């Protein structure tokens, strides 16, 4: 659900003897320089495949100075000159994040945009998910975002401008059956990003969330089943049905270029909204309108029906 944007409150009538409060002044964030030959420097995490790679290629083709990251960048080697730069970064390592930031600063002298896209997914019931598996999921999807934000913010504050776009999910607004820890990691990104917007606004740094639905990417093949879910157990039958629906929806999902186009619009937006849902119409309708108008129990039943587990 979108939080209401902060704005100035209308003045209420005051007695003539009372001092009138000064109106709240919130400066507009400086728009990132879009002059010719001065395209923004963009960092996109998780750019070796999927949404991250499509976004990096899209912005590179339009002249942006794009740095994509991958844990495997050192193994795959540098990209050709007609593509974006792919540099090594493991978002679960603070040292790795800092090294990548310093590399970008040494080459460009600034950092204008961060697209926090790196992430992965695990599947299985909450009960079947071990503490270690849950910890690994949050270390990538939540703490990875936090590490990159903490490394980028001193640079952007010093510049007096910047944009951070954190990738959540429609599963960060609605708990998805048998993806409980994935949803938990995205719920955490949602909450942290809401606060970050308010904290960094005085420094000219803009922050927004992108909440993708199902897209045709490598995410489906990379999803990991938790260890206990691979065994025959109490949840096996319903988990199998839900997993089949997940994979079908993803392999028949939208083209990820829609996310790339949205990111480009956000870069040129002076005052982005807190949240942007992107994906298929039915999914956005379900999470947006139906979640708002249906009683919780009825929406829950609708969601279980959608996954074939009602």
Q: Closest Cα partner for 115 from 87, 84, 152?
A: 152
Res 82: pLDDT: 67
* Nearest-5° Cα angle at 20, 16 to 26: 160
Task: Compare 167 and 280 and report the one with higher pLDDT.
Answer: 167
Which two tokens mark 132?
Answer: 């270690």
Alpha helices in the chain (DSSP H): 50-61, 73-76, 94-108, 131-138, 144-159, 180-200, 219-222, 236-251, 257-267, 281-285, 291-293, 296-306
Res 2: pLDDT: 39
Task: Compare 218 and 268 and report the one with higher pLDDT.
Answer: 268
Res 212: pLDDT: 94
Confidence class for position 134, pLDDT limits 50, 70, 90: very high
Res 144: pLDDT: 98
Measuring CA to CA, how many Å separate 208 from each of 113, 190, 266, 289? 11, 10, 8, 21
CA distance 135 to 192: 17
Q: Which helix (H) or strand (E) holds 41?
A: strand 41-44
Angle of the 144-159 helix axis to the 180-200 helix axis, nearest 10: 10
DSSP secondary structure string, 118-161? Answer: ----EEB-TTTS-HHHHHHHHIIIIIHHHHHHHHHHHHHHHHT-
Res 35: pLDDT: 43
Lowest average pLDDT, out of 20-34, 148-162, 284-298, goes to: 20-34
Res 46: pLDDT: 96
Residue 83 in this model has a pLDDT that exceeds 60: yes
pTM to 2 decimal places: 0.85
Question: Given phi > 0 = left and psi -120 to 50 = alpha, else beta, which region is 111?
Answer: beta
Res 252: pLDDT: 85
Q: Could you say which of 3.40.50.300, 3.40.50.720, 3.40.50.700, 2.40.40.20 is the CATH number of the domain covering 41-306?
A: 3.40.50.720
Q: Compute the average pLDDT of residues 100-120.
A: 97
Half-sphere exposure (Cβ direction) of 272: Cα atoms closer than 13 Å: 31
Residue 21 in this model has a pLDDT that exceeds 80: no
Residues 170-225 have pLDDT tens digits of 999 999 999 999 999 999 999 999 999 999 999 999 999 999 998 888 778 888 99
| pLDDT, the chain, mean | 87
Res 78: pLDDT: 53
Determine how many CB atoms are found less than 10 A away from the CB of residue 235.
18
Q: Where are the domains of the chain?
A: 41-306
Task: Compare 80 and 11 and report the one with higher pLDDT.
Answer: 80
Confidence class for position 32, pLDDT limits 50, 70, 90: low
Q: Which residues are catalytic?
A: 48, 168, 182, 186
Res 219: pLDDT: 79
Residue 281 in this model has a pLDDT that exceeds 90: no
């Amino acid at each position: 659900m979108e939080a209401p944007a902060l704005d100035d409150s209308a003045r209420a009538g005051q007695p003539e003897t009372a001092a009138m409060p000064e109106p709240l002044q919130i400066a507009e964030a400086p728009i990132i320089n879009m002059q010719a030959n001065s395209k923004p420097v963009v960092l996109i995490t998780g750019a070796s495949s999927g949404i991250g790679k499509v976004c990096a290629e899209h912005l590179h083709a339009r002249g942006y100075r794009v740095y994509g990251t991958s844990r495997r960048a050192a193994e795959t080697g540098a990209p050709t000159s007609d593509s974006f730069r792919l540099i090594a970064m493991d978002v679960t390592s603070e040292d790795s994040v800092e090294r990548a930031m310093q590399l970008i600063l040494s080459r460009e002298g600034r950092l204008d945009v961060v697209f926090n896209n790196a992430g992965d997914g695990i599947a299985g019931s909450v009960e079947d998910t071990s503490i270690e598996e849950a910890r690994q999921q949050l270390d990538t999807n939540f703490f990875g975002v936090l590490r990159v934000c903490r490394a980028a913010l001193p640079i952007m504050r010093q510049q007096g401008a910047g944009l951070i776009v954190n990738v959540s999910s429609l599963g960060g607004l609605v708990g998805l059956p048998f993806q409980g820890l994935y949803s938990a990691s995205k719920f955490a990104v949602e909450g942290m990003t809401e606060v970050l917007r308010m904290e960094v606004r005085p420094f000219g740094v803009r922050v927004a969330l992108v909440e993708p639905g199902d897209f045709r990417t490598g995410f489906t093949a990379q999803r990991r089943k938790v260890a206990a879910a691979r065994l025959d157990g109490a949840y096996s039958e319903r988990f199998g049905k839900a997993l089949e629906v997940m994979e079908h929806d993803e392999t028949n999902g939208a083209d990820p270029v829609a996310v790339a186009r949205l990111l480009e619009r956000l870069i040129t937006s002076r005052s982005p909204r807190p949240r942007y849902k992107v994906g298929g119409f039915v999914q956005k309708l379900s999470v947006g309108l139906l979640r708002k108008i249906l009683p919780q129990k009825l929406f829950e039943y609708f969601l279980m029906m959608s996954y074939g587990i009602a």
